[in-house]
A and B are shown apart, each in its own frame.
Chain A
Amino acid sequence: MRVASTLRFLGRAFAVNAKAVLEYRVNFFLQVFGMMLNNAAFAVFWKVLIDRTGGVGGYGFSDIMFVWAVSSTAFGLAHVVAGNIRSISRMVREGELDVYLLQPRDVWLNVVCSRTIVSAWGDFAYGFIVLALMPGVGLERWLMFLAIIPAAALVFAAAFSAAETLAFWLGDSQGISGALQEFLLSFSLYPETIFDPGMRWIFYTLVPSAFVAYVPLAAWRGLDWGAVGIVWAAALAWLLLTRALFRAGLKRYESGNKMGARI
């Protein structure tokens, strides 16, 4: 009953968020296509580079494109559904959690799912377009892609939220969360093998790029559903960590008197 109720709530929240951004349709489509164009420019860059070098760190062009497709679509999905994952620090600092604390819902879920980021819709769509343009992608690979995306999106959402949640203790964690976001995105868009083996452990722990790029690629290359399971396990572990952190932080919340509206 509670699961059904939560799903109904999330569905309504998504519908309201989508409707709110579609109030300004021209802006919406400009931002969506702008982001897809931006991502496409990188594809051109990688095509030129790999045509000249024959590959980077053991990755061919299709590997790079798959990593881009997963990262982009998962990053997009995280921000389309849970657009406030990178606003938690500001909301804590400015005392904007009051409205969510007054409602009979899990505060973290309610906060992060109460907004959608317009440009992320472009990121979300980009991965599907890349995959559709890639030659030789059969039904099983499509299904694998669809199974990986929600888990990788959870990793993005949970990791970004965890860093933002540190604001309960630090007052302002935007510096730390900004750095984590940059690292997580940057590392997930390049081949794992170009990095020093000594620092690769970071990608499986503090900056979980491995679970939004490298492990999905391993799964994709070998049609290894076990690797998909690993991505899901990592996603659930990050989710539990983030929720525990948020719950502990909430006890330190100090509210505020800033005027506010939900947009």
Chain B
Amino acid sequence: MTVIETRGLSRTFESRVRPRGFAASLKSIVKPEKRIVNAVRGIDLEVEAGEVLAFLGPNGAGKSTTIKMLTGILHPSGGTARVLGLDPARDRMKLAMGIGTVFGQKSQLWYHLPASDSFRLLGAVYEIDDATLARRTGELVERFALAPYLETPIRKLSLGERVRCEIAASLLHKPRILFLDEPTIGLDVVAKREVRVLLDELRREDGVTIFLTSHDIGDIEKVCKRAIIIHHGTVVVDESMKELKHRALKRKRVGVKWAGPADSSLPGLEPLKHTEDAAKYEVDTTKHRLEDVIKVLADRGEIVDLTVEDEPLEDIIAAIFASRSEEEAHVAAGARA
């Protein structure tokens, strides 16, 4: 069952161009110059119930704007969006009953009060009766291990504890889709791992559809099954995490340590870094057979350690961003010519 569907979803913003100089400033009062920014340009999406989706892109790619249109915060400038069969801009209140949101930068909990007070208020916001709210709070307190700090004012919690409370708060009304925008921003490694485990549990046990944006590749690798990459407001990649990782198979990182000094230069292959007895190479397996490379390395001296790794996902995604920027620069240069 499709829970999110968009066709040509677009959003433009109008901004005033700040004039330079006093005369231009005076002129701009009467006749302001405006610039149109296309934040999202015709996004087509289909997300099935229970999917766990990573929505990726560099800063300014249009991720947050898209999420805001899907959740009813922003009205689209063009195209259509249906979330749980509803138009987010028109049926905002109905939709809010079926979705949960965690925005890493914006809290829905009262800063000076314990989470329990915010939960009680959210119960009234989502029209949950007191008995159901008590039962649901109990379940979430247990699952998220909130008991030790449920009655502590939010301002006194660590960021990790606060995020756990935020996620629990977003689940009080049992949403069918959970939108998370940078939920692990600022968290330490332990807290990040805890949040990822919780999200994975939600997917497995409750079948919640998860729509996640994050700059943290760990979040994506550990939690998501599908990745959509957007750049300059358009979808550039939409494939499963397996397919995305498969791109890594084309590039391998080979590290070698010899028993003594050895010649690290290989024909047609520059080391990424090297010392007199060690080197690291990036091998494009479409140009060089891995077996041949290892044979040559073994010929250079006695090998005491050898590692072969996939290219990190972070590098793959960065390469996709970079290649899109280059393509767009070429198109722009062509258009100017």
Chain A residue at minimal CB-CB distance from B73: A101
Contact assessment for B75 and A104 in the assembled complex, using a CB-CB cutoff below 8 Å: no
Chain A residue at minimal CB-CB distance from B107: A261
Task: Please report whether the interface of chain B is mostly helix, strand, loop or mixed according to DSSP.
Answer: mixed
Indicate if A138 sits at the interface (CB-CB under 8 A). Answer: no
Contact assessment for B127 and A5 in the assembled complex, using a CB-CB cutoff below 8 Å: yes
Size class of the A contact interface (CB-based, 8 Å): 20 to 34
Taken together as a complex, chains A and B put the C-alpha atoms of A258 and B105 apart, in Å, by 7
- Inside 8 A of B71's CB, which chain A residues have their CB? 101-102
Taken together as a complex, chains A and B put the C-alpha atoms of A8 and B97 apart, in Å, by 17
Contact partner, B113, options A8, A20, A101, A251, Cβ 8 Å: A20
Stretch at the interface among A9-17, A64-72, A149-157: A9-17
Q: Which of A49-63 contact B (CB under 8 A)?
A: none
Indicate if B214 sits at the interface (CB-CB under 8 A). Answer: no
Contact assessment for B121 and A20 in the assembled complex, using a CB-CB cutoff below 8 Å: no
Q: Which of B128-183 contact A (CB under 8 A)?
A: 153-154
Indicate if A19 sits at the interface (CB-CB under 8 A). Answer: yes
Q: Which of A222-263 contact B (CB under 8 A)?
A: 251, 253-255, 257-263
With an 8 Å Cβ cutoff, the count of chain B residues facing the other chain is 36
- Inside 8 A of B112's CB, which chain A residues have their CB? 20, 23, 263
Also in contact, A23 and B68, with CB within 8 A (given A16-B117, A102-B101, A262-B108): no
Taken together as a complex, chains A and B put the C-alpha atoms of A48 and B45 apart, in Å, by 73
Indicate if B306 sits at the interface (CB-CB under 8 A). Answer: no
Also in contact, A255 and B73, with CB within 8 A (given A5-B127, A23-B112): yes
Also in contact, A262 and B105, with CB within 8 A (given A104-B94, A255-B74): no
- Inside 8 A of A260's CB, which chain B residues have their CB? 105-107
Indicate if A186 sits at the interface (CB-CB under 8 A). Answer: no
Residues of A within 8 A of B (CB): 5, 8-9, 11-13, 15-16, 19-20, 23, 97-99, 101-105, 110, 251, 253-255, 257-263
Q: Which 4 A-B pairs have the closest CB atoms?
A: A104-B96, A12-B124, A261-B111, A9-B124
Residues of B within 8 A of A (CB): 13, 64, 68, 71-75, 92-94, 96-97, 99, 101, 103, 105-113, 117-118, 120-121, 123-127, 153-154
